[in-house]
Chains A and B, each alone.
Chain A
Amino acid sequence: MSALADLLSWILLGAGSFFLVVGAIGLVRMPDVFTRMHATSVSETLGVGFILGGLMIQGGFTLVTFKLVCLFVLLFLTAPVASHAIARAAMADGVEPILDGPEIDARDGDDLPPLGFTKKVTTAIDASDAEASASVIVEDETVNTGEKR
Chain B
Amino acid sequence: MAANPHLLYPVEGGRAAATSGKLLSARNVTLEYRTPERLVRATHDVSFDVYGADRFVLLGPSGCGKSTLLKAVAGFIEPVAGSIEIDGERVTGPGADRIVVFQEFDQLPPWKTVLQNVVFPLRVARKLSRAEARERALHFLDKVGLSRFADAYPHTLSGGMKQRVAIARALAMQPRVLLMDEPFAALDALTRRRMQEELLRLWSDERFTLLFVTHSIEEALIVGNRILLLTPHPGRVRAELNSHQYSQESVGRGEFQQSVARIHRLLFEEETAR
A and B associate: no
